[in-house]
Chain A
């Protein structure tokens, strides 16, 4: 079964750091681009960051550029999102999503169930 499982969410103080992980199974992980998408409480979906299948190309939304780092370990079938200098407005459910190609285009056909990140003092 094709599956994505996020972990690493939780409560963190403003200015703190957190690392999300997304464990993939049921498909050839290195053959597909991956993204992180978030949904803040009461808001819509927001694309956060994406990475090509090889990991050689990474992309960020302006709202997180310079604070978040996306990476992947294809030997472990795992996607990561390192989040630094967290702000209250980063509070959201974070989803990892699998694209349909090795390069990043907006067509994610598999999504995880999400990890809640709460930034609060």
Chain B
């Protein structure tokens, strides 16, 4: 159950777009369309932002979008806002376990 690989940190200025990558293998990200992304502000409950690779739950801003190519999934946030500053985690279904998370990416809005 190896964790998916995410960059430790990314940053961007308000109004810009950023992309967070999530790299796995053909046994997880590449093999299933069950990739999700969570936003986590310290001390609060995680929030589902994207599921099934690119679907957005009701209430989530359309500034958030997801995609996948091969064994790598991506979360793109456009029109960065100060409140987007948080930790972001990808997760995927795997051939050996229903859930595995990425290591997390700290987004800083400059």
Interface, chain A (partner B; CB < 8 A): 35, 37, 44-47, 50, 59, 61-62, 95, 97, 100, 104-109, 111-114
* Interchain CB contact under 8 A, B48 and A108: yes
For A109, what are the chain B residues with a Cβ–Cβ distance below 8 Å? 48, 51, 57
| A61-B1, A100-B51, A106-B91 known; A46-B45 Cβ under 8 A | no
Closest Cβ neighbor of A96 among chain B residues: B45
Distance in angstroms between the alpha carbons of A106 and B46 in the assembled complex: 13
CB distance from A35 to the nearest CB of B (A): 7
Partner of B89, one of A44, A107, A114: A44
Contact residues, B49-63 vs A (CB, 8 A): 51-52, 57
CB distance from A11 to the nearest CB of B (A): 20
Check B104 for interface membership: any CB of A closer than 8 A. Answer: yes
Check B100 for interface membership: any CB of A closer than 8 A. Answer: yes
CB distance from B4 to the nearest CB of A (A): 10
Closest Cβ neighbor of A114 among chain B residues: B45
Return 27 A-B CB contacts under 8 Å, by A number.
A37-B99, A37-B101, A44-B87, A44-B101, A44-B104, A45-B38, A45-B40, A45-B46, A45-B89, A45-B101, A45-B104, A47-B97, A47-B98, A50-B99, A100-B51, A104-B99, A105-B34, A105-B93, A105-B98, A106-B35, A106-B92, A107-B36, A107-B51, A107-B52, A108-B46, A111-B45, A113-B45
For B57, what are the chain A residues with a Cβ–Cβ distance below 8 Å? 109
User: Which 10 A-B residue pairs are closest in the complex by CB-CB distance?
Assistant: A47-B99, A107-B51, A111-B45, A44-B104, A104-B98, A106-B91, A106-B99, A109-B48, A105-B34, A45-B101
Distance in angstroms between the alpha carbons of A59 and B96 in the assembled complex: 10
Partner of A47, one of B40, B45, B100: B100
For A100, what are the chain B residues with a Cβ–Cβ distance below 8 Å? 51
* Interchain CB contact under 8 A, A111 and B98: no
